[in-house]
Chains A and B, each alone.
Chain A
Amino acid sequence: MEAPFERIITPAERLKMKEKMQIDLRDITRAHVESFNEFISHNLPLAVEDLEPVMFDVNDQTVTTRIVGCSIGAPSLNSRVVSAQTDITPAECRQCHVSYKGNITLEIEINVNGHVTTVPRYVGQAPIMVMSDKCILSKLTTAQKIAKQEEAREFGGYFIINGNEKVIRMLMMARRNHPMALIRPSFMNRGFKYTEYGVQIRCVRPDETSQRLVLHLIEGGRCTLGFSIRKRQYLIPAILLLRALKDVTERDIYEAIVESDPTDSTLKEHVKAMLNAAPDNTYSQHTSLEYLGAMFRIELGMHPSISNIEAARHLLKQYIFVHIPQHDYTAKYDLLIAMIRRLYALKSGRVRADNPDSPMNQEVLQAGQIYGALLKEQMQEYLLAMKRFITMQVNMGREVDVGDQSYFRNRVFPTMPDIGKALDYFLATGNLKSTTGLDQMQAAGFAIVADKLNILRYMSHFRCVHRGAYFAEMKTTAVRKLLPEAWGFICPVHTPDGAPCGLLNHLTRHCTPQSKAVSPAVIKQLRQVVHSLGVQEVGMHRIEPPVLDVFLDGVVVGVANVKTIEAVALKLREYKVLGLHNVPEVLEIAFIPPAEGGVYPGLYLFTTPTRMLRPVLHLGTNKRELISSLEQVYLDIGVDIAECHRNHEKFGINYTHMEISKHGMLSVVSSFTPFSDFNQSPRNMYQCQMGKQTMGIPSQAIPYRADNKLYVLNSGQTPVVHPRAYNEYNLDDYPLGNNAVVCVIAYTGYDMEDAMIINKGSIDRGFMHARVLKTEIVDLVDRSGVSKAFGLLPRHRAENSDFLDDDGLPRVGIMVEKGDPFYAVVDEEQSNHIHRYKGEPARIESVRLLLASDTSTKREVQRIAITVSVNRNPIIGDKFASRHGQKGILSQMLPSEDMPFTESGITPDIIFNPHGFPSRMTIGMLIESMAGKAGCLHERFYDSTPFQFDEDDTAVEFFGEELRKAGYNYFGHERMYSGITGEELEVDVFIGNVFYQRLRHMVSDKYQVRATGPVDSRTRQPIKGRKRHGGVRFGEMERDALIAHGTAFLLQDRLLRCSDDSEATVCKSCGGVLSTTSIAQSAASRIRKDVCLSCKDSKVVKVRLPYVFRYLGAELAGMNINMSLDVSEI
């Protein structure tokens, strides 16, 4: 349970408290880092083991190649780089804009006619996750991290690709190894007479690669199992698979399925139809396997020496229920039977379809799993590429000697693909180039840049979970819906509005997806525990109905009567919480009781990774228990003790669990909104967005970063009013704004429509002062080698010495403006090119000499990073916001003597218009204002964690009383006087302290102005775009407004004179605009004359036309339409 609340916190107490409460920031990226570690230590060896050997014939020899080992080395520079020191730190990678990677070495076994050789082979460099076990920072202390130019609280979880911090976004996936009954109209398109019913299962191998299967129902009762091999879809009759998996009679199958409901006659008909659907001559396991093998051997690329039976076994191993170990055909058979039963039950309407969009049927795919799957595929591709290359060489008649190792070393390996490059490409672009598709529904958008705008934005990149790019284009909004099942796992507040609303979600603070797999030994033991509790093996007994299946990680481990199962579930939970019988703490015990028209019942046990886990309090034992999303639906979890008691008395609910904290259902970012329980809910959503656009102090290692743009607030403050989470994450390390005295009145009119007035005196004194650090990388490297160098030749020194040093680099600390010398380059001809500074006035912050690139062999200084600091103190047009989704534009910096003042002489920093409140209902901001004021008066902080006040103990009463104690008005009102007339204002004014954020949208980055400038070459109209000094579009509606106003001159000025006004020549006889031209009167003459080329006539007049009209004429002429103007003199 959480420690009880202190609403009032003195500064001294706060310091003590902060130390105690502080949580490890690594919790934020735990899922990322651990999944990567799990991939390196656990999944990678399994993936290597699971790779298929590639067999092919070379002349008379049979070559089998396989990968027997894969290792990823410590982060290092590329081996080709000429350097004494090859190890590299993340900070160096960020600053040099190179990648943080380690060498991949494969152990390739080549078997030529039984003669085996194993060669280690370097196949490129793999990006390494910062703070993972492979990263040099993982074992360092805080002081050591700082010495390595890192953040003191660096939490990693990202890759560094070309200097950018890249995060593999977590993805919502269908819950693995869990059959889901679905009704999907698209299933009907699978084939003739296919119905919309299906049972889908996403099977995941121990190495975390997956294979999706769908069991389809065909009208009449036949079933087929659909799956894909290398993105191609296949359907196999279920009966054929059943036979291939187990040598059983039709009767066995019939009974196994009908057993669930012997009274259902339709079911019996269906099963009979299914049994009859078997292809001819497949009436035994052997013949079925033979048939399957014959059908699939080409598709699977089987070597001729492999028999059909072996090919079929290969198919069953690689594609059918891959989560079950390959030899356990009985388990696969039992699972298929269970799925068939489920399919028929769905068809009959006895059970409801599962909702694939509900978090209860989902899990979270993490960085390590996607990365691992890609690497596995690349390794497989490597073998196939070897086969392709050698076969091609043979076909081309080249000399091929597979028996000779040097042939591989000199001819084959050098032409093989670079696996590192594929991984690098994946992370750099987020695009997945894959032959199998990795069982993903999307091919792009996997990796995103972790933007270090401020700590909130940065952290939220690691907490966000995307539903998948596929759903973004869906017209239905059902996927975006916030479901009650998401409680405690997915934050209901923190999702953007607009296109990605509801698709891009964020995990709650306490939710951590499981990363580590439970060991097979523990699972085996768990299976014994389940049986010891009374669950019987499948098909061994007669149990009194109703009988339910017990699943463990997608394997049917047994059956039992409902009553028994309920008892088993209870007992298992007890073992789990108390840690008895080695039952793992991550075990999910979801008992779905039978209900007419409900979800298919059963006991579902899961230990598998990537499920979302969150801690709750188990009331029976008063211990912490990790629960997951499927079991949560069937548990009774109270919010607090009071609720548990109340609902027990009122409704007789027996709560088994209780929440650990009331605000645990919020995400990291949304838990920083003060008093969010007082606000209208969309305002809290807006604050989550705005918090992520705030300028703050983004990093503590700013001098060691080379981001393109870094926004830095000069003097951030601790909010007087902050929630508990603020101290837990110790955001004092990364401040996000300033406390401001805010009064709520309409004053001068400059605060209308979300504008705000700021006291000029406050800005003079440093309120919201900020700067932008811009880094420009100058790279002289070109293909021809070292042909240029930085330098300032003696003859240019005198005129440029104010700005440039003799080495051609700018002097650190000087101010530069547009057009000033920025850096100088000397080329091979010894001519000096002086590059000029473009952009706003700035100060040179630093000049860094960089490694040319991670593959460069150059020793000369060929690459530099120049960082400039641009002052960005608030000016009219900049954007600010409180922490309650209340944003506004600075519209007037009012001198402090003009500001209204209170009887204690306080002039507000910010004037906020009262009309901002009624419709937005951000009561939290009002409470914060009162609390902030009371905090300043009493010299203390107030806790603003949501849900600490209620109807009997209201916030207004509490803070009103605090204000009264300080000698102020109970409601936070004060008498104010106009600063301009000195008269008392008629209203009493609500004034208090609110924490304000400065948003990164600044007018200096956005203003756009032009009189004349670049035009489009075709139309001669102004081009668009601020960067290119283009115009602001004066569109159709704007035109309408001018017409309506009758301002003809203005209209002509905007649309003609300032646009594409031109002088055109028109032939009076033919009316052509295009046919006229100007020619010299004679060869010697300079006088030119306008003539019409088509009329051979010189009766040509000059008119003023929009140039685009000529273009229209040309386009029409292209379609064989003549345009002619009727001109006459007035």
Chain B
Amino acid sequence: MASFNRDPQVRIMSLTDSEIKLQLSNADTALANSFRRSMIAEVPTLAIDDVHIEINTTVLHDEFIAHRLGLIPLTSERAAHFNYMRDCTCDAGCPNCVVKLELHVACRDAHQMEVTTEHLRSTLDGPDTSVVPVATAAERRDQSIQGNHIVICKIRQGQELKLTCYARKGVGKEHAKWIPTAAVAYEYDPDNALRHTFYEHPEMWPRSEYSQLTDDDKHEADYDPDGTADTFYMTVESTGAMPPEKICQSALESLFTKLVDLDNALEVLNA
């Protein structure tokens, strides 16, 4: 908990719909990495987990389509309000733990047709029509954004796909479809002053965007024997399921919950 005692600071350097760059200072690798791991594995999101296929006359087989559906990012900002199916009081899914999406597409004419996330409709009896594929959500927000829909499969005349999907809450460590991030990275020593890594040819290395070197001929900072990793330049890229800043918040929450649990457990143990 040393880094918490040091009062870690976060400075947001840039923020877009899909990416956040932040500087975490007064921290150490343990904290930074826990934060990173938490963003990948512990942030609850919603994803299609159960597919009931009624008609599938496409060229793709059932498992293949079900797998593709699972990977579609759904808007998960409200994921925190859902129950995990296993924790829910209901027997077989209720509006508190499941979102039902339906798809029924048939190709009637002689052209090739794309079945996309656009055709995936949340049903009216569902509690929450805000849980939709991200492209649909983007369209709702801004009418001018069109056509970012993910293709589920392509069909020809006479082919039909009819199915019902059940989206559930889950976390990334269970299955990658619940991972809200596309890439999470950090660096803490842009000029290699700490010499954690040995460079054979320092001149062959591209300079980091966080480099503080001013001299163009210098490729590596001087060795700092007493230095420690305490400033972390992080980049978080979202799949679109959640805005990047929400991912960070949610990750910190889950990290915090874990620490509180640990603290409580230790107290019980000591008592």
Residues of A within 8 A of B (CB): 714-715, 760-762, 764-766, 769, 771, 813, 843, 845, 869, 871, 895-897, 901-906, 964, 967-971, 975, 977, 979-988
Closest to B235 in A: A905
| 7 tightest Cβ-Cβ pairs between the two chains A and B | A982-B33, A905-B183, A905-B185, A764-B176, A984-B196, A761-B176, A982-B29
Which residues of chain A have C-beta atoms less than 8 A from B40's C-beta? 896-897
Q: Are A979 and B63 in contact (CB under 8 A)?
A: no
Q: Are A967 and B237 in contact (CB under 8 A)?
A: no
Tell whether B227 is near chain A: CB-to-CB under 8 Å: no
Known: A769-B67, A869-B61, A871-B63. A903 touches B179 (CB 8 A): no
Q: For window 76-131 of chain B, which residues contact chain A by CB distance below 8 Å?
A: none
Q: Are B198 and A988 in contact (CB under 8 A)?
A: yes
Known: A771-B63, A869-B61. A905 touches B176 (CB 8 A): no
Q: Are A903 and B185 in contact (CB under 8 A)?
A: yes
The 22 listed contacts between A and B (C-beta, < 8 Å) are: A715-B64, A761-B176, A765-B71, A766-B68, A813-B53, A896-B172, A896-B179, A897-B40, A897-B172, A903-B185, A904-B185, A904-B235, A964-B206, A967-B206, A969-B205, A981-B30, A982-B29, A982-B32, A982-B33, A984-B194, A986-B196, A988-B199
Residues of B within 8 A of A (CB): 29-30, 32-34, 36-37, 40-41, 53, 56, 61-64, 67-68, 71, 172-173, 175-177, 179, 182-189, 194, 196-201, 204-206, 208, 229, 235, 237
Closest to B189 in A: A984
* A967, B177: Cα distance in complex, Å: 31
Which residues of chain B have C-beta atoms less than 8 A from A904's C-beta? 183, 185, 235
Which residues of chain A have C-beta atoms less than 8 A from B62's C-beta? 813, 843
Q: With contacts A762-B176, A896-B179, A977-B33 known, what are 19 further pairs, Cβ within 8 A?
A: A765-B71, A766-B67, A766-B71, A771-B61, A869-B61, A895-B173, A896-B176, A897-B40, A902-B185, A905-B183, A906-B185, A964-B206, A970-B204, A977-B187, A984-B194, A984-B197, A986-B198, A987-B198, A988-B199
Which residues of chain A have C-beta atoms less than 8 A from B176's C-beta? 760-762, 764-765, 896
Which residues of chain B have C-beta atoms less than 8 A from A762's C-beta? 176
Of the residues A843, A895, A981, contact of B33 by C-beta under 8 Å: A981
Which residues of chain A have C-beta atoms less than 8 A from B187's C-beta? 903, 975, 977
Q: Are A983 and B63 in contact (CB under 8 A)?
A: no
Which of B61, B175, B208 counts the most chain A CB atoms within 10 A? B61
Which residues of chain A have C-beta atoms less than 8 A from B184's C-beta? 901, 905
* A766, B206: Cα distance in complex, Å: 33
CB < 8 Å A-B pair total: 110
Which of A764, A765, A869, A897 counts the most chain B CB atoms within 10 A? A897
Which residues of chain A have C-beta atoms less than 8 A from B201's C-beta? 970-971
Q: Are A901 and B185 in contact (CB under 8 A)?
A: yes
Q: Are A968 and B33 in contact (CB under 8 A)?
A: no
Which residues of chain A have C-beta atoms less than 8 A from B206's C-beta? 964, 967-969
Which residues of chain A have C-beta atoms less than 8 A from B68's C-beta? 766
Which residues of chain A have C-beta atoms less than 8 A from B64's C-beta? 714-715, 769
Closest to B192 in A: A975
Which residues of chain A have C-beta atoms less than 8 A from B56's C-beta? 813
Which of A715, A760, A982 counts the most chain B CB atoms within 10 A? A982
* A761, B182: Cα distance in complex, Å: 11
Known: A764-B175, A843-B63, A984-B196. A971 touches B185 (CB 8 A): no
* A1101, B98: Cα distance in complex, Å: 70
* A819, B197: Cα distance in complex, Å: 58
Which residues of chain B have C-beta atoms less than 8 A from A984's C-beta? 188-189, 194, 196-197, 229
Q: Are A895 and B183 in contact (CB under 8 A)?
A: no
Q: Are A986 and B197 in contact (CB under 8 A)?
A: yes
Of the residues A869, A967, A985, contact of B197 by C-beta under 8 Å: A985
Which residues of chain B have C-beta atoms less than 8 A from A967's C-beta? 206
Which residues of chain A have C-beta atoms less than 8 A from B204's C-beta? 969-971
Closest to B60 in A: A714
Closest to A899 in B: B40
Q: Report the minimum CB–CB distance from B261 to chain A (whole Å).
A: 19
Of the residues B30, B177, B196, contact of A764 by C-beta under 8 Å: B177
Which residues of chain B have C-beta atoms less than 8 A from A897's C-beta? 36-37, 40-41, 172-173
Which residues of chain B have C-beta atoms less than 8 A from A895's C-beta? 41, 173
* A760, B200: Cα distance in complex, Å: 32
Q: Report the minimum CB–CB distance from B24 to chain A (whole Å).
A: 11
* A967, B208: Cα distance in complex, Å: 10
Q: Are B197 and A845 in contact (CB under 8 A)?
A: no
Closest to B36 in A: A982
Q: Report the minimum CB–CB distance from B236 to chain A (whole Å).
A: 8
